[in-house]
Every structure is written in C-alpha cells, then in structure tokens.
Chains A and B, each alone.
Chain A
Amino acid sequence: MQFRINGTVHEVEVEDDMPLLWVLRDVIGLKGTKYGCGIAACGACTVHLDGEAVRSCQTFASDAAGREVTTIEGLGSPEALHAVQTAWIEGQVAQCGYCQSGQIMQAAALLAVTPNPTDDEIDEAMGGNLCRCGTYPKIRAAVHAAATKMQEG
C-alpha cells in the first residue's frame, strides 16, 4: 500500500484494516501521533487526512492509502514551528504533553477553515480531545493566540 505522509511517499505492506495510527507509529516510525484509547474517545491520535482532522485509530490503512496524511511532525518542527505550535509554546500549554499532538492537530485543522474562531466554535472543534492533565483553559487561550498570529501573518 502506498501512503503519502508529510509529503513523502511510503510503500508498506499492511492489512487493509490496520489503523493508520499503528501504520504511522510502528510501521513508518513516526511516534509523534499518540495512542490514547483506540476507540475515538480521546483524540490523542489526531492527524490530517487531506487537510481534515481525523482519528487515526479509527482510520483503516486502506482508507488512508493514496491520500495526503499530515502528522504533527509534518505540521512544523522545533526549528520551523507552525503558528499553532508557537502559540502552544508561548502559552506553556503542555503538562505531561501526551495529548498535545492531537490537540495541536485538531486546532490547526480548525484554524485552517475558521481563521478567527469564537469560543463556541472552539468548543465544537476541540470537544473530542481529552486532556487528563486539565490544560483546557490554556488550550482555549492558545487557540485564540494562534488565530491572532496567523492573521497577523
């Protein structure tokens, strides 16, 4: 099966029903996408599929093949941060940090279509991403900060 991940083509042989999450983590070796629940209940595994935020634990390999997959590693890097990541760092959002790849991918997908989201729109988009450490107030503030950053260019 052929995957386009963060702009690179990978040819791997996996079961049709292997979740994209495990293709990324165990087959391709991209560990930034996290396993939290495996049942679409936490959002830790969120990636972009053709620009849209999806739960990679619920996306079959065969459904992702041939489409554009973006993971946290493809969104930005420590040297070249995405605006959402900059906002997350400046806001010191992360505690344990384990949920934050998913939170950031979810927020980036929201801001791509809704550059200046209201609190209700943030609620709507981010409601499926669990954070056990309770960083929600910081996440909300960081989404607003990222929106401002992106508009200022």
Chain B
Amino acid sequence: MSRAGKIARRTFLIGSAAIAGGVAFGYYKYKSPVANPLLEDLPQGAAALTPYVLIDETGVTLITPRMDMGQGVWSVQAMLIAEELDIDLDQIRVAPGTPSPAYYNTALSHEAVPFDPTDTSFTAETARGVVDAAMKFMGMQLTGGSTTVPDGYDKLRHAGAVARETLKAAAAARTGIPVGDLKTGRGAVVLPDGTRLDYTTLAPDAAVIAPVTDVALRDPKDWRLIGHRIERIDIRAKSTGTQVYAIDLEPDGVVHAAVRLNPGRSGAPLRYDATAAEAMRGVEKVVPVTGGVAVLADNTWRAFQAADAIRIDWPAPAFPAEMEAHWAILSDGFTEANLSATPREAGNVAAALMQAGDAALSVEYRAPYLAHAPMEPMSATVLVEGGRTEVRAATQVPRFTQANVAKVLGLPDEAVHVHVQMAGGSYGQRLEDDAIRIAAEIADTVPGRPVKLTLKREEDFATDYPRQIAMARGLGTVANGQVTGFDLSIAMPSVMASQMGRQGFGALGADAQITAGAGDQPFAIPDYRVRGYQVDGLAPVSSWRSVGASTNGFFHDCLLDELIHAAGADPLAERIRLTADPEARKVLEVVGEMCGWGARLAPGQGRGLAFCRSFGVPVAEVVEVRATPQGIRIEKVWIAAGVGRVIDPANFENLVAGGAVFGLAHAMNCQITYAGGAAEQTNFDSYEGMRLPQGPEVEVRAVEGMGRVRGIGEPPVPPAAAALANAIFAATGQRIRELPLGNTVDFA
C-alpha cells in the first residue's frame, strides 16, 4: 500500500495542476462530475475556458477564488493567471469566485493533519491524501492557513496557459495559420503579419472547441509579472477612498440593522426591554435573533443607538465568568487524560532531567486570548426574496456560509447566492460567519427588502471568537556550553474542534494546532520532547493569524533562548548549530548577516533573536530594543523568510513587515480577559496595539529557491513576540514569560 498511497497522491496533484483552473474538468471528470458554476448564467457568445478565466465581448475577467482580506491575493492570483494568459493587469477585471465545489482548497488540508507540512515521509503523504479527499467532499473553498499562494501557484498559471493555448487554437482554426506560427501578447493572438486578434473577439470560437489542456508552463526566466514589482490592482482604489468594502454596500431600500448578542454565548436573553429603543427616531422594529436581539432602523447610527438602549438580562455564561478560572483550568490541564500528541520525542529527556536535578531549568509561559479586530467591523447584507437569497459579505468560507444561510432560512443551498466582498482585514475572524447567519435571520423578517447588519465595534469585540489562550511548561538541560535537553508541554483548547464544531464537523483526530510551531521545529536537540494537552471547558476560540503557532512560537523559542543563555552560548550560533534543516539554517544566517549580529550596541540596547517555522515557512527575526526612562522602545526589526519564491515583491515586503508588526503589537499590550462572563476589552482604547510612533524600522529579506512555494500571510507572526521578549532580556536582564509583555514592562 505504501507505493500506492504515494502514487495516488502524486497523480492527484499532477492531475489537478495539469488541468489547473480546469480543476473542474480534470479531477471531477474522473471522479464525479461537478458542475462548472460559470457555465450556468453564461451569456450568448461568451466562452468559459476554465473556472478561473472568463472572456466575453466586454473583456477578460479573472476569477480569483480566494477572498482578499488585505493580503493582496487578488493581485497575486491575477498575476499568476495573467502571466500565462499574456495579458496585463490593466486589461482585466478581477471578480471573486462564487461558492462552488470546484474551488476546493488542496493546501490547507495539509495543516489539518498532525504532520509537519514539510514532512514528506510516507505516513505523512498518505494521511494528507486522506484529508485531501475529505476536503474535496466538503467542497471547501476557504481562505486561510496561508494557502492561497501554494494552492494557486500551479493551478492558476495552468488556467492561464490553458486559456491562452485554447485561444490560439481558435485563432488557428479561424485563419488557417498553424498554431506554431501564432504568438500572444497584451490580450491578443498575434498573427505572423502582426495582425492582432483580441481574445475578446476569439471568445465565441474558443467556446465551441475542446480546451487545450496539455500545456507547458513558462520558464521562470521569461516571466513578465511574477517576481516583478507591479502596481497592486486595488492600490488606487484603496488610496482614494473608492474601494468598496462589505460595510460600504447600500442597495436601494436598504434597512440598517444592529444587534446585541450574548457575550457569554449561553443563548437567548432571560428577558429584555426594548420599549425605549422602539420609540427612538428611525427605528422600524426590534426582533429577537439567535442568542440576542436586533434593531432595524433607517441608518446605522440610529440602529446602534437603539440597540444600546435595549436592556437585557443574560443567562450565566457558557464558560467561566472570571479570568482566574480560565488560568486555573489550563494550569490543571497538563494531565495524562488530556495528552493529545507528542509530536517530538528524541533521546530521553526524562532521564536527562532526572540527572540534572535542581540544575535543570524549569519555567512557565502564558499567552492570553486575543481579539481579531480587523479595522473593518463585521457586516453582512442579505436580501431574502421569494425563493432566492442574496448574501453580500466578506467571508473566508463562502461554501459554509451558503449552507448555513440556507439552513437558517429553510432553503436549498442553491437558492442562496453568496457574493464575496473585499474585506478590511480579517486575521481569521471572517472564517466565522455568525454575523451573516444573524443578518439572514433579520432579513427574513422583512422579505423583499435588503438588510445590512453592521456590528458596532463594541459588539464586534464582544462576539469575536478569540485566539486560543495557552500555557506552557518548559524544562531543559545544558552541558559544555550547549543546549542538550528541551522539554516543552503546551496546554490549550482545541481551535479546530471549537471552530469546526460551529460548522457542524467533528475534529479530524488530535488537533495538530495544539503543538504547531513547537512540535515541528527543525532542531536536533539530543534529548528533545514536545507534548500537547487539549484542555476543554474554556471560552470558544477560533483561528487567529498563524493559529497554534501564534502562541507556540513564543513558548518554543523563549525556552530555547533561556537554555542558550544558561549554556552561555551565542543565541545565533547555537540556534544555527542545532538546526537540522538547510533552509532554516540559511534563514538564520541571513538574518544574522542583515543585522550584523554581534555588533556592539549602545548602553540600554539589546537584541533578541527568534525563529519559528510555521506553514512550512522558516522565519527568523531579530528585534532591537532600547530601555528608556519612558519604557522599552522597539527600534529596529530584521526578518528573513524562506518562501520558495516571491510572487509579488512589494506585497511580500508588506505582508512580512506587517505580520511582524502585528505580532509585536499584540505582544506589547493586547489581551482579551473575561469578567462577569464578557470580554473586558470592548474597543481600541483598551486593545491598543501599536501606534505609528512606536513603529520600528523593518528590514525584510526573502530566502528563495530552497523550498516549495509557500504563503507568507501568517509565518512572520509567531517569532515576533519571542524576539521581543528575548530582546527585552538582552537589554534589561529581565525574562518575561507572560504575554502581553506590557503587563510587566512599559513600552515607550
């Protein structure tokens, strides 16, 4: 079975890549036919070459199946298609895909199994094959796990190539000129005499011939777009206030809605009094919704005001009301019964610790719940009309949303049409679609009229499913100036069980996220163990930019840094010595080179190094801080990341620098704490993050060509908090083992 498992997977990969945008054609042809969503409403004269390219007389539209939350993936996806299609980005329109099983996501499922994403062993490959099959069944079209680039890298280029070659075949048929004599450029097939046949005019011909699917991808040295600096397709709109986000939609006759939802997630109010709200100007009505109450009004502000005026008594929360109880549950959670996985076990760490006795290092780390809080609050616009429902929202899970809204309304899935909108940030929040379900419930009370639900910022904080809280215990030994023993135990709730549970799925065995970013690090320490404990009974949680690695990267690297210090070794040299993987080693060497590691620093200055490999991407970060009378100042950050290949350099820099700043911001002062059964932080005054004056200079470098193409949205986040904590230690001698660091020190 061993070879069969491996071959089956390869065949599948090649199959889906070879047909690329033709995922619906290739793969589904040989498994079970799945309708190509673009063939439904296709107007006369239009040719749907592949699910990713749509050409008609009005122009060329590239369908980008992944939602854009600010990570620039519309541009990146369009570049991948346009590179092969021989068209420029100023000649195309980009439209998000509609939910369809044809857009299932291959790369994400690799994160859902308990293997290192870079582990290509037989067991890992086979297990991924199984999960791939599950993903196909669920028809997952989701944006998450930094999967857009790896997933689309081959598929979208193939889609472009298939479209191009089919258009050439159509031109050959029309002109009688052999395909070999035809060229393409700027959206046209070019005949030997220089005559240009626009793709748009060839579209009807291309529609009636078999697509040319046997295509070769271009040599990277011939690329015009990939790897080059291009103007991002949404950058003008986003710099002129003309980008339309979900929250900006205002269909004719729209009714504005606001809600008050149970912050303790324990269901309907015990009682509520909406008398005052109902009497307020512009208020149409107040209606109960699942777990709360909604107001319909004639503008957003009036809806907000009225919702605030409703007096509500909530039942006791569904999780511990006070924060101490959460920490106590975690602290008691390191039990045999909770042990979910031991992804790393080398040597005999227990014996080594026993031998070291009191000399062994023993520490405990904590990381809090965190809100997602993208700048654009959650919103959804829903129109329920006859048997058809239109949903407009920035969702990362349009397929789930379609099914969930259908269930709310008692309609078949096909009756619900989800139109994915540009998102003003997400960081994982839009993997949850509660707000959309609620909007559908509200819209159902005013059929024929569109309803826009906007969450007031306070409500957005209160109803966000936060990043997991987590605790870790670390032990370790050193000898002869080297780290010899490393034992890390991590306790946290299962993000996947919580999140997938809300979508009606059971978890796929042990949740790999409990040790992601710690149990999968490329270090060879003689006695080395990492264990994960799943702790239930805490607040429901959700994926937050980099998921498990967002806490575990902090735990793993801080413990390593403490041990290196205890050994009296150099933080960079010892990490390099312990690194078993060439790409990871290179990334460490590069960051060392970038910052001139070992340079003399001014008094009060300190540098911290941290490393974490997550989503297959090794990232090393150096943070330089200065202790000032006003507090710690983050002065400079250097980052090296191994990404296989950079598709869009400007976007790469933005995501890497932005990801590190995001990690540092939360490490400085962000936390969600519960009191009285509700989150205490309700807005950006109590969840500050970093402001421009605190923003460090950031230098970024990509290490290319040493691994597969990987996404970069999340991997810069995990090392940031550790690098900052390590830097504070270097500058002040103070080890801080609890996030946010601002609970212990001030930041200037």
Contact = CB atoms under 8 A, between A and B. Distances in A.
B301 interface: yes
A33 B692 CA distance: 20
Contact of A27 (B299, B427, B685, B697): B299
A123 to B, nearest CB: 4
Interface stretch (B214-222, B381-389, B652-660): B652-660
Contacts of A133: 70, 375, 425, 658, 662
Interface string B485-506: 0000000000000000000000
A32 B242 contact: yes
B248 A31 contact: yes
B414 interface: no
B658 A29 contact: no
B180 interface: no
A89 B301 contact: no
Nearest to B298: A26
B695 interface: yes
Which of A38, A76, A136 has its CB near the most chain B CB atoms (within 10 A)? A136
A127 B454 CA distance: 27
B299 A132 contact: no
Interface string B328-361: 0000000000000000000000000000000000
B457 interface: yes
Contacts of B266: none
B238 A94 contact: yes
Given A96-B425, A98-B375, A89 B236 contact: yes
B155 interface: no
Which of A19, A26, A134 has its CB near the most chain B CB atoms (within 10 A)? A134
B746 interface: no
Contacts of B243: 97
Contacts of A132: 373-375, 425, 427, 662, 689
Contacts of B235: 89, 92, 94
A93 B692 contact: no
Contacts of A33: 241
B657 A134 contact: yes
Contact of A34 (B375, B660, B683): B375
A66 B250 CA distance: 27
Which of A36, A104, A122, A126 has its CB near the most chain B CB atoms (within 10 A)? A36
B691 A37 contact: no
A36 B71 CA distance: 19
B692 A77 contact: no
Given A22-B300, A36-B684, A96-B425, A134 B239 contact: no
B684 A37 contact: yes
Contacts of B374: 96, 98, 132
B658 A134 contact: yes
A18 interface: yes
B158 interface: no
Give the interface size bracket for A toward B.
Answer: 35 or more
B301 A22 contact: yes
A60 to B, nearest CB: 12
Given A29-B250, A92-B232, A137 B657 contact: yes
A114 B427 CA distance: 35
A137 B695 contact: yes
Contact of A97 (B70, B657, B659): B70
B424 interface: yes
Contacts of B69: 96
A49 interface: no
A34 B376 CA distance: 8
Contact of B300 (A26, A41, A129, A131): A26
B683 A94 contact: no
Contacts of B253: none
Which of B241, B689, B695 has its CB near the most chain A CB atoms (within 10 A)? B241
A97 B693 contact: no
Interface in B221-266: 231-232, 234-245, 247-248, 250, 256
Contact of A35 (B247, B651, B685, B693): B247
Interface string B354-380: 000000000000000000011111000
Interface in B521-565: none
A133 B238 CA distance: 14
B212 interface: no
Nearest to B649: A92
A124 B661 CA distance: 20
Contacts of B427: 132
Nearest to A21: B301
Contacts of A95: 70-72, 425, 654-655, 658
A127 B655 CA distance: 22
Nearest to B696: A137
A99 B373 CA distance: 13
A101 B660 CA distance: 23
A117 B655 CA distance: 27
A72 interface: yes
B634 to A, nearest CB: 11
Nearest to A141: B697
B244 A136 contact: no
B698 interface: yes
Contact of B240 (A25, A44, A78, A129): A78
B655 A129 contact: no
B438 interface: no
Contacts of B245: 98
A86 B667 CA distance: 33
Contact of A85 (B239, B695, B698): B239
Interface in A70-113: 71-73, 76-78, 81, 85, 88-89, 92-101, 104
Nearest to B684: A41
A90 to B, nearest CB: 9
B456 interface: yes
Contacts of A130: 375, 684, 689, 691
B107 interface: no
Contacts of B236: 78, 89
A136 B301 CA distance: 30
B423 interface: yes
Given A71-B241, A94-B239, A95-B655, A134 B684 contact: no
Nearest to B374: A132
Interface in B389-443: 423-427
A26 B299 contact: yes
B281 interface: yes
A44 B375 contact: yes
Contacts of B373: 132
A139 B110 CA distance: 36
B650 interface: yes
Contacts of B232: 92, 94
Contacts of A42: 375, 684
B584 interface: no
A15 interface: yes
Contacts of A58: none
A15 B592 CA distance: 60
Contact of B685 (A32, A41, A88): A41
A36 B245 CA distance: 13
Nearest to B694: A136
Interface string B567-593: 000000000000000000000000000
Name the 3 nearest CB pairs between A and B, nearest first: A32-B241, A96-B70, A98-B424
10 contacts: A34-B376, A36-B684, A78-B242, A95-B425, A96-B70, A97-B238, A123-B692, A129-B691, A130-B684, A133-B70
Given A32-B242, A128-B691, 17 more contacts: A22-B299, A31-B250, A36-B457, A37-B683, A37-B684, A38-B456, A88-B239, A89-B231, A92-B651, A94-B70, A94-B238, A95-B71, A96-B374, A104-B241, A122-B692, A130-B684, A134-B660
